[in-house]
A and B are shown apart, each in its own frame.
Chain A
């Protein structure tokens, strides 16, 4: 059974069963492997994508719930998004596995709040685990991206 999804501005037909989580459709069917699997239960944030601009955990979202929803993945940011540039500038990634999810959460935060406080950052980013412990640079890169965007 085909489902029609709008991913990164393109309409994509997928064959997956309706209860299939978006994450596995992105990775196995749409060929978009930037979003990662880390827990499958909405606990780690590695799979974070944007649904109509809001950060969602794609591991816990069945494709059947996504008709008419605009999905943006890390690949959809284009590679030179101010948040990505800040990440590169500060060498945020270590193993890098969590970083697509971190970046998507940060993009969503900054889209709604151009000048987030430390508490805002904590609240927006606490759903994204980084086992390498790059947290300090993640926070710094969010502030950097915010400053660049305001400049």
Chain B
């Protein structure tokens, strides 16, 4: 069974940032001589019922599953509950989901060591944990029934929440057996079902549990929190990254009706009011002067030029900055043969979640420190809150809510917007609930972008047109550098997807190096992280090489995957090619592009059908094949591939954050166009049958569409794409 968990960790690639987070905590905790979970749980009070921390069963037999992860759209409510329901043999229609409280001891991500959602690990890390929880609870019911009916436990069956004994004709629901079951000691290693016995997992019955609440306006987001005496705060933030408040005049702001206070905090000046509109009006009336002496001087254009120069070997590197090797084999320099060279540029990207960042915090008063917020990483939020509010992390309560999207934005080492809210709530004090509201402009200007990234490639080809030597340079900010969890060597999130690529495996000589400069622009993981650029570079390059070699892009890839032993890549590519009709001519005016990429343990292949309309690619049908191990909810896997594809296509066509002299230029959707309905493709999703443990689904659908579209454009026009987005505003 441990083998399963190990395989999960290996396959999901979750080891990357999650384990470093865990490691840093482990070393911190060792200093004080306790486990990290103990340290974080200090002060925590979570009542655990008879069926453990994940399951509650009511007197009427209804089952509640506690979700230790956030539900920010990726369907964890349904997927996690289905794992429990399967092993428990519960009645799926009577299973509901509640958010678990913050408690790292009970609810740590088993791949991270802390409570948090990311790296597409919600299902993979919970898979064995929740199967065991469900199976243990089931065993408690069969044990109780055997005792009550005086029949052999082995003869008892459970189906849809009803426990039965065929020979005696006895049966009872979970509710009737609840008392007896609660007194049974659950087995430490309960017997789990085999895949063949699954009746819920992998079926179309596993559908979302929150669609109705989200179609009626009832679903509760941070923005919607109402509490007795709640105040709303907005903050005047620095106009440039790195600028600090040097002074402010709040006389006019305080005159605005509804404004109750104006408070300086580390990140700016907060206006606290009785309503959102009053707070906004107050901020308009506030005058703040800024010390810009330490502000970031560069803009995105200069950064891009600098990166390109460094990659080309021009211009001296700043002190301490040096190239670091991420993949090397043989001697990639020199040699005979045709050479392909290219550079690729990717801009800063905002996550632009539909719900801008926000938080509700209470500090002081009798209730202790409490956050009411959509928390992607409760443990980080607890730690950062505790530091400001001067308390133990475990005693910071978090009521976790639905999030209006995250795509990575809500988890960062600083808990930036949470910390800002806690600073304000601390000054307001007395346990008064303070809701920090960011406008779209605040949200966009705050940074935490996907880093601007430059790639430079030189590929020497063998006589058959396959890569013989591959030199690859990447320049991008590290996501981890400067954080408490900075890795010793390279930050693999900057190059994942290039690093370990089957194309590298199939190439005799490889020289891959990365340069990670530091800038004043805060950067962060953005749905699919390194793959947001590496998948594009690898897959678009391969198509250009295939064309050069006069080979079909699918056949060319298959040959390389064969050499690399990439059997999962081969399987999804063949499936996507078959379902898309790759071998048949495309409809008139349409070209097809293909791409394959592995991320978060899953492999996705897509074939995109593209029409060039007024010089701009219009994407119609997208055929996707995914190998994500055991499929829990085929419908939600499809939903994630659909949504991930749109998110990736938005970045392919439109998204681009422009910075000038350290100031964010594009602060709302008028200046920062994103994908809209009329541009959204129709995605078909085919899931490769598998009994492997489940791997990631939330992110792997994002990075493949970009190169698939670029490859279709290449087929249509003969022109490659060396810079994203394709349509520059």
Would you call A92 an interface residue if the criterion is a C-beta within 8 Å of the partner chain's C-beta atoms?
A: yes
Please state if A39 and B73 are interface contacts (CB–CB under 8 Å): no
Chain A residues whose C-beta falls within 8 Å of the C-beta of B223 in the assembled complex: 27, 33, 36-37
Q: Kindly specify which of B2-10, B210-218, B317-325 makes contact with the partner chain.
A: B210-218
User: A100's closest neighbor in chain B, by CB?
Assistant: B217
1/0 contact string of B669-695 vs chain A (CB within 8 Å) = 110001111101111000000000000
Given contacts A88-B211, A133-B647, contact A95 B669 (CB under 8 A): no
Report which of A36, A74, A138 forms a contact with B677, defined as CB distance below 8 A.
A138
Chain A residues whose C-beta falls within 8 Å of the C-beta of B407 in the assembled complex: 131
Q: CA of A99 to CA of B405 in the docked complex: distance in angstroms? A: 12
Q: CA of A68 to CA of B665 in the docked complex: distance in angstroms? A: 40
Chain A residues whose C-beta falls within 8 Å of the C-beta of B232 in the assembled complex: 28
Chain B residues whose C-beta falls within 8 Å of the C-beta of A27 in the assembled complex: 223-224, 276
Report which of B213, B404, B668, B674 forms a contact with A97, defined as CB distance below 8 A.
B404
User: B351's closest neighbor in chain A, by CB?
Assistant: A131
* CB contact list, B437-471 vs A, under 8 A: 437, 439-440
1/0 contact string of B192-218 vs chain A (CB within 8 Å) = 000000000000000110111111111
Chain A residues whose C-beta falls within 8 Å of the C-beta of B224 in the assembled complex: 27, 33
Please state if B668 and A21 are interface contacts (CB–CB under 8 Å): no
Please state if B277 and A122 are interface contacts (CB–CB under 8 Å): no
Q: CA of A84 to CA of B213 in the docked complex: distance in angstroms? A: 10
- Residues of A in contact (CB 8 Å), total 58
Q: Kindly specify which of B127-135, B293-301, B584-592, B635-643 makes contact with the partner chain.
A: B635-643
Please state if B670 and A43 are interface contacts (CB–CB under 8 Å): yes
User: B352's closest neighbor in chain A, by CB?
Assistant: A131
Q: Binding site of B, secondary structure by majority: helix, strand, loop or mixed?
A: loop
Please state if B73 and A96 are interface contacts (CB–CB under 8 Å): yes
Number of A-B contacts (CB under 8 A): 183
Please state if A96 and B404 are interface contacts (CB–CB under 8 Å): yes
Please state if B215 and A92 are interface contacts (CB–CB under 8 Å): yes
Please state if B216 and A133 are interface contacts (CB–CB under 8 Å): no
Report which of A38, A91, A97, A132 forms a contact with B211, defined as CB distance below 8 A.
A91
Most chain A CB within a 10 A radius of its CB, from B642, B676, B677, B682: B677
Q: CA of A81 to CA of B585 in the docked complex: distance in angstroms? A: 43
Please state if A34 and B226 are interface contacts (CB–CB under 8 Å): no
Chain A residues whose C-beta falls within 8 Å of the C-beta of B440 in the assembled complex: 38-41, 44
Give the Cβ gap from A92 to chain B, nearest Cβ, in Å: 7
Please state if A95 and B276 are interface contacts (CB–CB under 8 Å): no
* CB contact list, B386-405 vs A, under 8 A: 402-405
Given contacts A35-B217, A46-B354, A95-B404, contact A133 B212 (CB under 8 A): no
* CB contact list, A81-121 vs B, under 8 A: 84, 87-88, 91-100, 103, 121
Q: CA of A87 to CA of B219 in the docked complex: distance in angstroms? A: 14
Please state if A129 and B642 are interface contacts (CB–CB under 8 Å): no
Q: CA of A99 to CA of B215 in the docked complex: distance in angstroms? A: 6
Give the Cβ gap from A10 to chain B, nearest Cβ, in Å: 16
Q: CA of A112 to CA of B665 in the docked complex: distance in angstroms? A: 39
Q: CA of A119 to CA of B89 in the docked complex: distance in angstroms? A: 46
Would you call B348 an interface residue if the criterion is a C-beta within 8 Å of the partner chain's C-beta atoms?
A: no
Please state if B275 and A24 are interface contacts (CB–CB under 8 Å): yes
Given contacts A132-B73, A132-B354, A133-B646, contact A33 B668 (CB under 8 A): no
Chain B residues whose C-beta falls within 8 Å of the C-beta of A84 in the assembled complex: 212, 215-216
Would you call A20 an interface residue if the criterion is a C-beta within 8 Å of the partner chain's C-beta atoms?
A: yes
Report which of A28, A95, A125 forms a contact with B355, defined as CB distance below 8 A.
A95
Please state if A96 and B642 are interface contacts (CB–CB under 8 Å): no
Given contacts A94-B73, A96-B404, contact A139 B677 (CB under 8 A): yes
Chain A residues whose C-beta falls within 8 Å of the C-beta of B219 in the assembled complex: 96
* CB contact list, B18-76 vs A, under 8 A: 72-75
Please state if A36 and B404 are interface contacts (CB–CB under 8 Å): yes
Give the Cβ gap from A107 to chain B, nearest Cβ, in Å: 11
Please state if B208 and A39 are interface contacts (CB–CB under 8 Å): no
Q: CA of A91 to CA of B448 in the docked complex: distance in angstroms? A: 31
Please state if B215 and A93 are interface contacts (CB–CB under 8 Å): yes
1/0 contact string of B613-644 vs chain A (CB within 8 Å) = 00000000000000000000001100100111
Would you call A146 an interface residue if the criterion is a C-beta within 8 Å of the partner chain's C-beta atoms?
A: no
Report which of B75, B275, B649 forms a contact with A28, defined as CB distance below 8 A.
B275
Q: CA of A79 to CA of B226 in the docked complex: distance in angstroms? A: 22
Report which of B218, B642, B674 forms a contact with A131, defined as CB distance below 8 A.
B674
Would you call B528 an interface residue if the criterion is a C-beta within 8 Å of the partner chain's C-beta atoms?
A: no
Give the Cβ gap from A138 to chain B, nearest Cβ, in Å: 7
Chain B residues whose C-beta falls within 8 Å of the C-beta of A137 in the assembled complex: 639, 642
Please state if B354 and A44 are interface contacts (CB–CB under 8 Å): yes
Report which of A20, A75, A91, A135 forms a contact with B207, defined as CB distance below 8 A.
A91
Would you call B93 an interface residue if the criterion is a C-beta within 8 Å of the partner chain's C-beta atoms?
A: no
Report which of B213, B405, B635 forms a contact with A132, defined as CB distance below 8 A.
B405
Chain A residues whose C-beta falls within 8 Å of the C-beta of B677 in the assembled complex: 121-122, 125-126, 128, 130, 135, 138-139
1/0 contact string of B116-131 vs chain A (CB within 8 Å) = 0000000000000000
Would you call A54 an interface residue if the criterion is a C-beta within 8 Å of the partner chain's C-beta atoms?
A: no
Give the Cβ gap from A101 to chain B, nearest Cβ, in Å: 9
Chain B residues whose C-beta falls within 8 Å of the C-beta of A131 in the assembled complex: 352-354, 405, 407, 647, 650, 674
Please state if B644 and A133 are interface contacts (CB–CB under 8 Å): yes
Given contacts A38-B354, A87-B211, contact A94 B75 (CB under 8 A): yes
Given contacts A91-B208, A94-B73, A131-B647, contact A136 B642 (CB under 8 A): yes
Given contacts A27-B276, A122-B678, contact A97 B354 (CB under 8 A): yes
Q: CA of A17 to CA of B711 in the docked complex: distance in angstroms? A: 54
Chain B residues whose C-beta falls within 8 Å of the C-beta of A75 in the assembled complex: 216-217
Please state if A43 and B73 are interface contacts (CB–CB under 8 Å): no
Please state if B210 and A96 are interface contacts (CB–CB under 8 Å): yes
Report which of B74, B277, B402, B642 forms a contact with A134, defined as CB distance below 8 A.
B642
Contacts A28-B277, A37-B356, A91-B636 given; 11 further ones with Cβ under 8 A?
A: A21-B277, A34-B217, A92-B211, A94-B75, A94-B643, A96-B73, A96-B213, A123-B678, A125-B677, A129-B354, A132-B643
User: 19 A–B contact pairs at CB < 8 A?
Assistant: A24-B275, A28-B276, A33-B226, A37-B223, A37-B276, A38-B356, A39-B440, A41-B440, A43-B669, A87-B211, A91-B211, A91-B639, A93-B214, A94-B73, A97-B404, A98-B404, A99-B214, A133-B646, A136-B681
What 4 A-B pairs have minimum CB-CB distances, sorted nearest first?
A34-B217, A133-B646, A97-B404, A96-B214
Residues of A within 8 A of B (CB): 16-17, 20-21, 24, 27-29, 31-41, 43-44, 46, 73-75, 77, 79, 84, 87-88, 91-100, 103, 121-123, 125-126, 128-139
